[in-house]
Structure 1
Amino acid sequence: MTTPARYHDGAVHAPGGVTFPVAAEPGEEAVAPDLTSAVCTTDNELVCVDRAGAVRWRHAFGEFREKTYNVRAGCAFSLDGKAVWFFRPDSMGEWNDGDDTWHVLDAATGSVLASADLGTSGHGGVQHVHPNGTDVLIDVGEGQDGSFLFRGSFDGIGLEVVPYPWDDRVLVAFSPGGHHFMTVHQEQDDVAFHAYPDGEVVLRVPVTDLGYDGDVYLEWAGGYLDAGTAFVVVGGSDGDEPWSRHHLLDVRTGARLGTFDAHTDNPYGVIAARDGAWLTFDDGVFRRHVR
């Protein structure tokens, strides 16, 4: 798992009180595993900064046509910190009528090492770095047209991209060892756990099996607290008042393990540490919690 980052008050924040000042409000951010640099996207470039906020390099990619869709480029560091994986929603770019592209950049210089066309027209791409150190999964969302998942492998020379055979599942997380991953249905009515890398479904849990009647759904959120325990987030509303609850699942047996207090009201505010604990981020501070 790469180091999580959160934007707050003009800085990218990482656990341990590490901050990276940035000149412009970023869209997406990532922090290097050794905490010496961070990357963030703006409306027209990918920027790498050091701990003092000094710019190490910039990678320009132009403006987006469809501002109303909140289009965002995406970034993630490789596990060894030597590369930055970069998603460009080129289909929405004013400079390009082609499909979205995926790139691997040298983390030290920003130079492009490898690129691939994805054949999508996404509003954004969420990247998950696999524990094996070579693979990355990217989930490209096309809004009401679906969500498309790809597996990328970089061998130091070329970028190989393999698509998964569905367009209605949103990637949520890898298991700690990377042998499984979890997705939520695009219409948010079930969570599935898949074998890696082929994607075979080994467990599926509909939201109705979690003890609810009425209009509820699964957030596109969750994760693995440890190798055998995952959490999902059920959402709904009482009138105009939205609510969410975190549920635990045994991923080996499918047993429902009840709810737990996540110590945050944000359904997307839990960062699983994969050792039975998790982090939340509030008021510019990361906090660690255990059950």
Structure 2
Amino acid sequence: MNGGSVLRAARLVATVPAPLEPGSADAPFLQHTGGRRLVVQRADTELAVLDTASGDVVRFPAPWPRSLGTVAVSPSGDIAVFAGLHAVRAVAASGATLWELRHACWADECPEMHEEFGSYADDCDEGGEHEYAGSGSAAFSCDGKLLWAHVRGPLAADGAADDAASDEFWLVLDAADGRVLARTSTGTVASGSFHTVHPDPAQMGLSVGEGEEGSPALWGRLDGGVLSVRKIDDETVLLDASPSGRHLLATDVQQDALYLHAAEDGTILRDLDADGAVPPHSQGGRVYWDFAAAFTDESTAVAGTSGSDAGYGPGRHWLIGTDDMAVRALISYPRPVSGPVRAAGEGAWYTVSEDRTAVLVWELAQES
């Protein structure tokens, strides 16, 4: 039987209200580490972090507007790290800066090593040199002790050293004080990036968007103070790591196929083309995978085609068997959902409501 003709029910685990108004903030996202789920939402002047277990909300003052970088939150929810155009800054809920690492500006033609955001705040408006600057990203290791950061070099601490060339670096920092424990050049020219957290704190994934130039996916491993980096592919986006950490789920930049990689060496073990595996729309149109997916266990994942479904009907999510990379079933929901699926940990995934006011956590319903 074709997996696309089989239905598998999803059960709603939780509906978590977004902590900020959608009109003035980015869409919320759910972070899961160490068995704790945090709903994170960024506005221009603050970052709100909601603990789904207690309902408590911690608010961090933001050092610069949300369009000028990305953010990472510690697994305990008590530290926010803002990766901006000129610095990576760790902030406590009190507003105090815990540490800051300054680096070269992400704006292509800007030669300055900025001391603070105020020095270029007026140049971020329409037509300004910093309006369309690239950006890096940061992520805490699963235990919260390390911070992995993708930045543009040189670092302020490099001074005028001969080897402090303009380059992009992947850093591993002590999350407590911002000390650089290891670093290596990525050889990339990023317009943006994001990390994929691994269950081993000494490993991390990095997907780098280079516009029309490609999308290299890198895998980092910290061993004895040395950061070694392996390129998985030049046109790949990492989606999730399996619960054991042995496997990685990815897609290509055209979103044609899902790929199961071995985390150990990046080898492609199996793949699944959307064309042929997913029933086409009755009105035609290319079917392709979303840039998001979630492992529910070591041999099962949920992936969507909601982007290609838009305009043809409701977005569809699919249960994928990763042992043979085959569609097992179409996910059936008890209420309408929108957008892609993302990992929520402990066998669950989440979606964001269409009006961005809530995070919906789902798991597979028990089969009767």
Common topology (TM > 0.5)? yes
- In structure 2, the residue matched to 1:211 is 279
Q: What secondary structure, in the 3-state scheme, does the structure 1 residue paired with 2:212 have?
A: helix
Pair 1:134–1:5, CA change in 2 (3 A): farther
- In structure 1, the residue matched to 2:111 is none
2:205–2:219 contact (8 Å) kept in structure 1: yes
Where do 1:77-226 residues align within 5 Å?
A: 77-90=140-153, 98-155=166-223, 157-164=225-232, 166-208=233-275, 209-212=277-280, 213-226=284-297
Q: Distance in 2 between matches of 1:77 and 1:122?
A: 20
- In structure 2, the residue matched to 1:265 is 338
Pair 1:153–1:264, CA change in 2 (3 A): same
For these two proteins, the number of residue pairs brought into alignment is: 284
1:71–1:89 contact (8 Å) kept in structure 2: no
1:69 deviates by 4.8
1:31–1:37 contact (8 Å) kept in structure 2: yes
- In structure 2, the residue matched to 1:22 is 61
Pair 1:141–1:206, CA change in 2 (3 A): same
Q: What secondary structure, in the 3-state scheme, does the structure 2 residue paired with 1:144 have?
A: helix
Letter in 1 for 2:291: W
Instruction: Specify which structure has the bigger relative contact order, considering alpha-carbon pairs within 8 angstroms and separated by 6 or more residues.
Output: 2
Deviations 1:63-109 (A, max 9, x none): 33255655222000112212211101459xxx997331111112111
- In structure 1, the residue matched to 2:98 is 56
Deviations 1:183-205 (A, max 9, x none): 11111111111122112222211
Deviations 1:123-180 (A, max 9, x none): 122211221221111111212211112221223522222222x212111111111111
Letter in 2 for 1:21: F
1:118 deviates by 1.0
Q: Distance in 2 between matches of 1:90 and 1:259?
A: 46
Q: Distance in 2 between matches of 1:85 and 1:37?
A: 14
- In structure 2, the residue matched to 1:46 is 88
2:106–2:133 contact (8 Å) kept in structure 1: no
- In structure 1, the residue matched to 2:363 is 290
Greater strand share, 1 or 2?
1
Q: Distance in 2 between matches of 1:13 and 1:4?
A: 6
Pair 1:171–1:157, CA change in 2 (3 A): same
Q: Which deviates further from its counterpart, 153-162 or 78-87?
A: 153-162
Pair 1:197–1:238, CA change in 2 (3 A): closer
Q: Distance in 2 between matches of 1:271 and 1:45?
A: 28
Q: Distance in 2 between matches of 1:81 and 1:42?
A: 20
Q: What secondary structure, in the 3-state scheme, does the structure 2 residue paired with 1:278 have?
A: strand
Q: Distance in 1 between matches of 2:203 and 2:362?
A: 29
- Coordinate RMSD, CA, aligned: 2.8
Q: Which deviates further from its counterpart, 196-205 or 182-191?
A: 196-205
1:124–1:140 contact (8 Å) kept in structure 2: yes
Pair 1:286–1:265, CA change in 2 (3 A): closer
- In structure 1, the residue matched to 2:121 is none
1:278 deviates by 2.2
Letter in 2 for 1:188: Q
Which runs of 5 or more structure 1 residues have no equivalent in the other structure? none
Q: What secondary structure, in the 3-state scheme, does the structure 1 residue paired with 2:290 have?
A: strand
Letter in 1 for 2:240: A
2:339–2:351 contact (8 Å) kept in structure 1: no
1:181 deviates by 0.5
- In structure 2, the residue matched to 1:252 is 323
Which runs of 5 or more structure 2 residues have no equivalent in the other structure? 1-31, 109-129, 155-159
TM-score (norm 1): 0.85
- In structure 2, the residue matched to 1:230 is 301
- In structure 2, the residue matched to 1:7 is 41
